[in-house]
Amino acid sequence: MSDTETRPTRSRREERRLARQYARQQGAWYPRWFWPSFAAPAILWMVVFFAASFYVILSVAFGTEDFFRNPLPVFQPWWWDFGTLTEQLHKIFGGVYQTVYLRTFAYVAIASVLCLLIGYPIAYFVARYGGRRKALFLVLLIMPFWISYLMRMFAWSSLLEVDGYVNDLLTFLNVLSKPYGWLEGKGITVVLGLVYGYVPYLILPLYGQLDRIDTSLLEAGRDLGASPARTFWRVTLPLSKPGILAGLIIVTLPMFGDYYTNNLLSQSPRTTMIGNLIDFTYANTGLAAQGASLVLTVAVLLIVPMVWYLRYTAKAAEAK
């Protein structure tokens, strides 16, 4: 105890030196570079392939083209030409891309709300009433993760054919009088495809959050006279808010870059999304600068939710 009393008289530097000396005597001393050197390969990798790639995106977006319309990236920021980007921004605000951007926002909004409406009851049921079958439910809920997204969309594309089982069922039940052309560029098909594709990603973080709720809080709510509905509304729902937000973000992020759902279920310009515009620039020469600036607009759009999500998961990991 006397040690704590003398401590303030030592400088922090001194203290660190003593700690190091003690640790060395115990054989547990690590040099300063020891732990960072473990992280070095990954950091190097990320700098070369992640950070640098984004710099290339900037250089291509603000660079020029050669005679054959191949991109000539400009790596010096002071020579950057913001022409393509302003051109793109004009296209987005009031130009040809405006409809695509608005459509993407609408699809993503509708699809993620539907994901939440479908996912919440399921996450809630498994978290609260899963009981001994929780592991089984979790395995079933996680199964779609190990089925390729491609396979899952592709499965629907044959079910939704004009002579497919969905039309067979709906005409048999007299919901439809004649088969519906689901795959002929219908917005509803794309939205349902997005919902089907991304619901599992929303359920799991939401489940994690709901599972962490202390049930004694719910009992307290009931003890104090709240009805089950009111307890849900005033206790469970507010406590699950971060999980809802995290789930919504984790489904909207990939939806903004999604081009494959659209390509597999519609292929029509009537349902084009931002991802399709980007994908189109990959497949066609002369559009690299355009693709790069589209990527930039999407990245700027998504940076806030991405950062929020990473901070949320970091906090959740510490809470565990």
Partner 1 sequence: MSTVARPAAPPAARPWGPIRWFKNPWRKPRVLESITWLYLAWSILPVTIAIAFSFNAGRSRSSWQGFSLRWWTQDPFDALFRSPILRAAIFQSFRLAVLTTLVAVPIGALFAIGLDRWRGRPATAANFSVLMAFVVPEIILGLALFLSFRNLIKFIPLGTVGQVIGLVTWQISYAVIIVRARMLSIGRDYEEAAMDLGASPTGAIRRVLLPLLTPALFASAAIVFADSIDDFVTVRYLSAGASSEPLSVKIYNSARASPTPAVNAAATFMLVSTFTVIALGFLAYRFATRGQRREGAVKEFVAY
* 3-state percent helix, strand, coil for the chain, nearest multiple of 5: 75, 0, 20
**Contacts with partner 1 in 76-115 (CB under 8 A)?**
none
Scanning the structure block, which residue is given the tokens 């497919």?
164
Partners of residue 72 on adjacent β-strands: 64
Q: What angle do CA 308, 309, 312 make, to 5 degrees?
A: 90
Residue from 80, 105, 232, 259 in contact with partner 1 (CB under 8 A): 259
**Is 122 near partner 1 (CB under 8 A)?**
yes
184 vs 223 by CB, closer to partner 1: 223
**Is 242 near partner 1 (CB under 8 A)?**
no
**Is 60 near partner 1 (CB under 8 A)?**
yes
Distance CA 234, CA 191 (A): 31
**Is 173 near partner 1 (CB under 8 A)?**
no
**Is 258 near partner 1 (CB under 8 A)?**
yes
**Is 298 near partner 1 (CB under 8 A)?**
yes
Nearest distance in Å: CB 285, partner 1: 11
**Is 172 near partner 1 (CB under 8 A)?**
no
141 vs 244 by CB, closer to partner 1: 141
Task: Name the helix (H) or strand (E) containing 191.
Answer: helix 187-212
Residue from 202, 235, 251, 288 in contact with partner 1 (CB under 8 A): 288
**Both structure tokens of 249:** 């973000």
Residue from 140, 188, 217, 304 in contact with partner 1 (CB under 8 A): 140
Distance CA 128, CA 133 (A): 11
Nearest distance in Å: CB 18, partner 1: 19
Instruction: Kindly list the distances between the CA atom of residue 146 and the CA atoms of 205, 248, 312, in Å, as whole numbers in the listed order.
Output: 17, 21, 25
